[in-house]
Structures are given as C-alpha cells and as structure tokens.
A = this chain, B = another copy of it.
Amino acid sequence: MANSKYEYVKSFERSQPDILLPNTWIVIRIDGRGFHKLTAKYEFEKPNDRRALELMNAAAVGVFKELPDLVLGYGISDEYSFIFHKDCNLFERRAAKLITTVATTFTSHYIYLWQTYFPGKPLTPPMPSFDGRAVMYPSVQNLRDYMSWRQVDCHINNLYNTTFWTLIQRGGMDAAAAEQRLSGTVSSDKNEILFKEFGINYNNEDNLFKKGSVVFRDFELVDIPAKKPDQAAASSADHPDNDPTATASLDNAQPSSTAAQPLSKTAAEKERKRRAKAKIAVEHVDIIKDDFWLRRPWILSGRAGKLKE
C-alpha cells in the first residue's frame, strides 16, 4: 500500500506511556486556564459568582451523563475533579484518552451552556479552556484524603476570599490594605473580623461557597447503624478532621463484593446501564467525615444502588 513508507511514524506513539495502573482510583482534575482574565472580562461577582459556579456544575452534570463510568465529581472555583472507579476499564485506562475526553466534554458543555447562565454576556475569543491531569490513588483512604484535601482547600480559600472582599466591598479597603490586614491571620481571626466588624456569621454563608459541589449518581440513601457514644464523639469532631481508623471501618462496611475481583465484561456493562439510569445529584455537603460515604455505598463499591422513585 502506498501508505506504508510513512507509516513507521506510528511506532513513535508507543513510547508515550499511557496505561494507568489497574486497580487504582483515577482522578481527572481540570482547571480553568487563565480564568483570572476571564472573570474580569465577564465581570464575575466577587468573592463568588453564583452563575459561574452553577455553570461549572451544569457542565459537570453533562459530563456525568455522557460518561456513565464516573462515580464522583467535586468542583470548587474553576476546577473540577472527576473520579473513575478503581475497576473502571474505560478506554483501557489510557491516560491521554481519559484526560482529553473528560476535559473536552466538560468544555463542550461549558461553552454550550454559557448563554443560559450569562444571558447578557455573549462569549468572544479568546475562549475559555481547561487543562487537565490524571492522578492514580491505590486505596480508598488515599482517595478520600484527596477529596478531603480539595474540600479543605475550598474552605480555606473561601474564608479568605470572603473576608478579603468584605474588607474591600464593605470596609472600603483597597486590595493591598485588605491583604495586609489578613496577613498572618488564622481561621478564627477571619471569622472574628467578619462577625465583629461586619456582623457576618460565616457559618450562615451559602454551602455552595463553603463546601463546594459534590456530583454523584443519586440512589436511595442507606441507613447506617447508630454509633457507640465514643465513636460518635470522634466522628462529630470538628471539620476538617478525619480518623484513619474510621475510614478503615468504612472499608469493612462496604458490601463484601467490593473485595472481590472486578466484574466480568457483561456484568460491568449491566452496571454501567444501571448507573446511567440514576439522576445526577449536585450537593454541597461534607465529604470529609464518614457519613457521606456510608450512606452512599454505591460510590465506593461501584455497584448501583436502588433507584429513587
């Protein structure tokens, strides 16, 4: 065939390592590129623009609908994490394909939905875009620590931004003065500034801003047995606290099937279809403590729960 003379160049593709290690949780995290300029250009509200966050969430829901293999998503600001189950074999776990599929599907929905969330502000080039990466986590503990890391980041950033912009918008400071004022402060200091100087109770802020957005397939919640008093005390400990032995007991709490070998191809396909039937929920809840995970065992087990009616 006339083509063969050049086709040797395909062999250069092999040397790009690409297969993500089997039996590890895959996190694809995307970040808005140059969103600093974007927020200025389209006049996003500070410290949080509700429309912008809801657009991010709507795009994430679009991604979930097109990729039934996804089990969990988490978004804050202009970043979103998408989690594939450790048993997932989509695209044979090829990293580049997984990253670009998630990132371009997200982008596609983001642009498509822009006018819905910013009706008076048509997009013009340069256009929004996102970079992405894939990270593997071998254990449930590692995965939950990743999620906790992002939610703690959300909390820290939002408390800072809320105080910073309150000092500016209501305190009349300029950015340099506000930054100077916050330099060296800890969380309690910022809470106090908000409360004493502006009468704002940070706890009453919107959970969309404080907790970020958790995306998952919405099956019926599972009851969890009442804890013994001392355990309850440990678990009700203040955010952000995570007890590794609690997580260990979570591992035990999972359906025993999760310890088994991955599903057969047919069974996996069936599961995908059952997952695809569930509605996609977007909630602004704590994902650091155990409750979220214990009541939604399908996320970690990868086995669809009972459909809500």
Contacts and interface: CB of A to CB of B under 8 A. Distances in A.
A62 interface: yes
Contacts of A179: none
A149 B6 CA distance: 5
Contact of A3 (B10, B152, B256): B152
Which secondary structure dominates chain A's binding surface? helix
B62 A125 contact: yes
Interface string A217-255: 000000000000000000000001010110110011000
Interface of A: 1-3, 5-24, 30, 33, 62, 65-66, 86, 91, 93, 95-97, 99-101, 103-112, 123, 125-139, 141-142, 145-146, 148-149, 152-153, 156, 187, 240, 242, 244-245, 247-248, 251-252, 256, 259-261
Contact of A96 (B99, B129, B146, B152): B99
B101 A104 contact: no
B142 A139 contact: no
Nearest to A34: B66
Copies in the complex: 4
Given A6-B148, A19-B15, A244-B261, A109 B96 contact: no
Contact of A100 (B8, B15, B128, B130): B130
Contacts of A9: 135, 137, 142, 145-146, 149
B16 A22 contact: no
Nearest to A155: B2
B111 A108 contact: yes
A135 B259 contact: no
Nearest to A146: B9
Contacts of A1: 156
Contacts of A126: 65-66
B240 A125 contact: no
Contacts of A10: 149
A96 B12 contact: no
A20 B156 CA distance: 31
B129 A105 contact: yes
A151 B83 CA distance: 35
B112 A127 contact: yes
Given A103-B104, A104-B104, A130-B104, A245 B256 contact: yes
A248 to B, nearest CB: 4
A138 B139 contact: yes
Contacts of A96: 95-96, 99, 131-134
Contacts of A62: 125, 127
